[in-house]
Amino acid sequence: MKKTSLIPICNAIFNADTTVLSDGEKLLRLHNVFDDDSLKELSNAFLELEPGPVPGQEHRKRTSWRLDSMNHEAMSDEDRFAIQKAIETAMDTKFHSMGVSLWEDRESYNIPKHVDNDGLSAAMQIYLPSDEGALPNTGTIIYDGIQEYQVPFVPNNGYFISNSNTTVHSSGEQVKSGHVRRSVYFYFRR
């Protein structure tokens, strides 16, 4: 990723639509996160890296490509460090580490209401373009008591939740036949 490609990501984080949930945790809705070059590099990474299952979701139709275990042009160590620092600054907190994976969800993928495992402290998911276009109703839903906030699955948009192991969320509607949902998922540990 070019250094100039970090500008849109940082702008998306610092200019996010922010909702403070009833427990004080935050939902940031991010828009126009990556520039065209970064989107192309992320798309190429699906072809260049070795896929694997998502821990805890082996029975679901989700495949993962790790971007944090190598210095790939789509996301280098330097890029990850800059993104983690932007989140830490925006959220006024520190994280011990941040991991990054690409995700591909296939036909019938759906995950019901849940919280992330105790090993994760916060999460950020950015939706990527696919040949089929936007799948808005499959976007993540955040539950705050009786209030629901859906982040539509629209390419180059996404969300950050400040405490994913206490904030209840789901994936929205199932992925329809003939469609694929792609995203880049950042997970943070305190």
* pLDDT tens-place string over residues 158-176: 999 999 989 999 998 999 8
The mean pLDDT value for 16-33 works out to 96
Cβ distance 181 to 104 under 8 Å?
yes
Q: Looking at the 3D structure of the chain, how many domains does it have?
A: 1
pTM, two decimals, is: 0.93
Domain residues for the domain of 82 are 3-189
Q: What CATH number has the domain bearing residue 167?
A: 2.60.120.620
> Over the stretch 111-164, which tens digit does the pLDDT of each residue have?
899 998 888 999 999 999 987 767 888 999 999 999 999 999 999 999 999 999
pLDDT of 16 reads: 97
Tokens of 169: 């969320």
Q: Give me the DSSP letters along 65-129.
A: EESSSS-BTTB-HHHHHHHHHHHHHHHT---SEEEEEEEEE-TT----SB---TT--EEEEEEE-
Q: Is pLDDT at 13 greater than 70 in this prediction?
A: yes
Percent of the chain with pLDDT over 90: 66
